[in-house]
């Protein structure tokens, strides 16, 4: 990606939505390199920006931990590993690493749903749940670069186990992976559901979700309602604590949950009290927001 | 208070701890004026800073709503009302209004537990529960000035009613007023407790709390444990979302809950996951932090 003209050509291959869970760190690095080659290599390129799910330390170029990516349960010095395998890279090639939802927010702020805004929460619904904060016109990074980990805030103390080992986290109620686990658990417990009956042993795809929700499947509707409650709690907490008048919802799973989900979140937020409910808005840039934001990390 | 040499002489008369609930807006304004007179009036004074509980709009000088102060359930243009009654005020006298816990945080940042820190959450436990955020070295105000309303984040969805009309808010589990209501409710339901037996019809004072907790009173211990859980949830949410490595706990009710409360909060935070548990630290400036912070609002 030429830094001066951010031009993402592929969906971010490290997106948590993209079946990353079947890959190891090495496989992901190989994919990054294949993408670089497919985009024409590094000749004439100023920099390469990479956005990854999970806890990211941008200053060291390390993915500290990414629960939803196999091989990323320990720190992975991603930028260094990529740089070593970049042959013929021009002198001074800049590499930058950031969190995927922070990148999404950066892109939406530059040319999307956050353009001209100064204060907002971004919620990205995918395999997991990510967040980003726009505060006083800047993406909040935090002293360790870990700000925005909305997926791992507690929404139900002592509640459902989360993939990270915690309990009651937002991601356990809203992430696509957690909802699949929960649907299968209810099915095993004797509740009939199209989610499992249509998917069989395969992943519960977006189209299976669409069909189950469209048919009024009780388990699917329950899971969507519980997801809306969890999002309303987490969004309400953040907007109350930070005085945030705006929430942007994005990520690949958001359209699957659809308008009824959003309406329910808005309904539950309406009696939030305090400074009042934040406005909900959909992300504008779609699947490529993360890649655009990654490019912006190295754009001057 | 002379702005150049902040010199608070009385406990902040608008403190939510100070039985403000027996007062009306007019009574509080009269108290503010009595304090000004007792401090020597406005001659030679550069400015007067006032810190109030509740939602405060500093730019208009209005207390938008303060649940724990009678007469403040509607907006009160506090600065204008005070200014009108200041006779012989020097030309150019500056008046400033801020939230009490933001003022406390400002003071602790200038010369207390937050000196030299850049990122922290402040939790103030009193009649209610307040919060303040130090982000990148600055107190977070938010676009409407309402940031820091930690007392009204949801910690138990659908849980105990809060004085503000919401449910499951932190303040309903930790505020002194809410705990008194809850202790009396349990007593009416047949649970014996020293909290009510010692206090009778009077307020459950700090010394009654001390005696009940010291005697191992089951209701008092339960309420303290539930308070610690609620604080751990709220603090964990904020530190996960914002990447906050430090939490400062202050307010008049904190010493009453004491070290066992703090140890329990730390225990529950220890398995928070993510970037790890924040460090807990006690506020350093005591009861006058709010007044010092109010003075700093007008100090150049």
Angle between helices A254-269 and A218-242 (to 10 degrees): 60
Cα distance between residue A122 and residue A136, in whole Å: 14
What pLDDT is attached to residue A271? Answer: 76
Q: What is the pLDDT of residue B300?
A: 63
Nearest to residue B150, comparing CAs of B162, B159, B136, B138? Answer: B162
- Which stretch of DSSP H or E encloses residue B47? strand B47-52
Q: Helix/strand/coil (H, E, C) string of B189-245? A: CCCCCHHHHHHCCCCCCHHHHHHHHHCCCHHHHHHHHHHHHHHHHHHHHHHHHHCCC
pLDDT value of position A276: 80
Query: Taking the alpha carbons of A245, A271, A227, A155 in that order, is the dihedral positive or negative?
Result: positive
Note the helical H segments in chain A: 25-38, 78-84, 100-111, 171-174, 176-188, 194-199, 206-214, 218-242, 254-269, 289-298
Closest alpha carbon to B101 in B298, B285, B300 = B285
CB nearest B119 (choices: A142, A149, A271): A142
ipTM: 0.87
Q: Tell me the average confidence (pLDDT) per consecutive run of 10 residues in chain A, 300 residues long.
A: 44 42 75 91 92 91 88 91 88 92 95 96 96 96 92 93 91 96 97 97 97 98 97 96 96 95 94 81 92 90
Q: Which runs of consecutive H residues, i.e. helices, occur in B95-205?
A: 100-111, 171-174, 176-188, 194-199
Query: Chain A closest CA to B154's CA: distance in Å?
Result: 6
Among A11, B42, B208, B131, CA closest to A19: A11
Q: Around Cβ B187, how many Cβ atoms within 10 Å?
A: 16
Cα A88 from Cα A80, distance rounded (Å): 15
- Nearest by CB to residue A274, choosing from B140, B152, B273, is B152
Q: pTM above 0.80?
A: yes
Angle value at C-alpha A185, between A184 and A188, nearest 5 degrees? 85
B165 contacts A273? CB cut-off 8 A: yes
- Give me the pLDDT at residue B68, please: 82
Give CA separation, B106 vs B101, B102, B131, B223, B289, in Å: 8, 6, 12, 31, 8
**Of A246, A14, A55, whose CA–CA distance to A147 is shortest?**
A55
How is residue A118 annotated by DSSP? S
pLDDT at A129: 96
DSSP state of B89: P
Percentage with pLDDT > 90 across chain B? 74
The closest of B146, B170, B166 to B53, measured between CA atoms, is B146
Whole-number Å distance between alpha carbons of A171 and B169 = 21
d(CA B80, CA B95): 9
Q: Pick from B245, B249, B254: which is nearest to B282 by CA?
A: B249
Chain segment B54-76, per-residue pLDDT in tens = 899 999 999 998 888 888 889 99
B119 and A240 within 8 Å at the Cβ level: the answer is no
Q: What is the pLDDT of residues B1-18, one digit of tens each?
A: 444 444 444 444 444 444
Chain A and chain B share a number of CB contacts under 8 A equal to 123
In B, residues 223-242, which contact A (CB 8 Å cutoff)?
Answer: 229, 233-234, 236-238, 240-242
* Long-range Cβ pairs for the range A183-190 (8 Å, 24+): A183/A219, A183/A220, A183/A223, A186/A219, A187/A219
The predicted structure's pLDDT at residue B12: 44
CB contact B157 to A (< 8 Å): yes
Between CA B264 and CA B260 the distance in angstroms is: 6
Contact A157 B155 (CB under 8 A): yes
Instruction: Please provide the size of chain A in residues.
Output: 300
- B159 inside 8 A of chain A by CB: no
Q: Report d(CA B246, CA B269) in Å as an integer.
A: 12
Mutation target for A interface from B118, B142, B238: give the one with most A CBs within 10 A. Answer: B142
Residue ranges, chain B, pLDDT below 70:
1-23, 273-275, 300
Q: How far apart are CA B93 and CA B45, in angstroms?
A: 7
């Amino acid at each position: 990606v030429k830094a001066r003209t951010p031009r993402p050509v592929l969906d971010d291959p490290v997106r948590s939505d993209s079946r990353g869970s079947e890959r190891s760190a090495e496989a992901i690095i190989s994919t990054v390199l294949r993408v670089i080659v497919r985009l024409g290599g590094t000749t004439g390129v100023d920099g390469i920006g990479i956005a990854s799910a999970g806890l990211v330390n941008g200053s060291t170029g390390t993915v500290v931990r990414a629960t939803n990516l196999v091989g990323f349960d320990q720190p992975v010095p991603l930028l260094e590993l990529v740089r070593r395998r970049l042959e013929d890279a021009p002198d001074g090639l800049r590499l930058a690493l950031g969190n995927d939802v922070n990148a999404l927010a950066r892109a939406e702020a530059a040319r999307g749903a956050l353009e001209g805004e100064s204060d907002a929460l971004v919620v990205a619904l995918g395999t997991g749940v990510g967040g980003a904060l726009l505060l006083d016109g800047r993406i909040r990074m935090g002293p360790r670069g870990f700000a925005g980990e909305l997926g791992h805030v507690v929404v139900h103390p002592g509640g459902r186990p989360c993939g990270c080992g915690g309990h009651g986290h937002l991601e356990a109620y809203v992430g696509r992976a957690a909802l699949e686990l929960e649907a299968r658990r209810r099915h095993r417990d004797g509740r009939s559901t199209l989610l499992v009956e249509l998917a069989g042993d395969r992943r519960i795809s977006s189209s299976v979700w669409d069909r189950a929700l469209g048919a009024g499947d009780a388990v699917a509707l329950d899971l969507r309602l519980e997801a809306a409650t969890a999002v309303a709690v987490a969004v309400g907490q953040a907007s109350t604590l930070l005085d945030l008048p705006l929430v942007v919802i994005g990520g690949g799973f958001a359209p699957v949950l659809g308008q009824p989900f959003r309406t329910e979140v808005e309904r539950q937020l309406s009696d939030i009290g305090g400074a009042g409910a934040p406005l909900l808005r959909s992300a504008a840039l779609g699947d490529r927001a993360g890649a655009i934001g990654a490019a912006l990390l190295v754009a001057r």
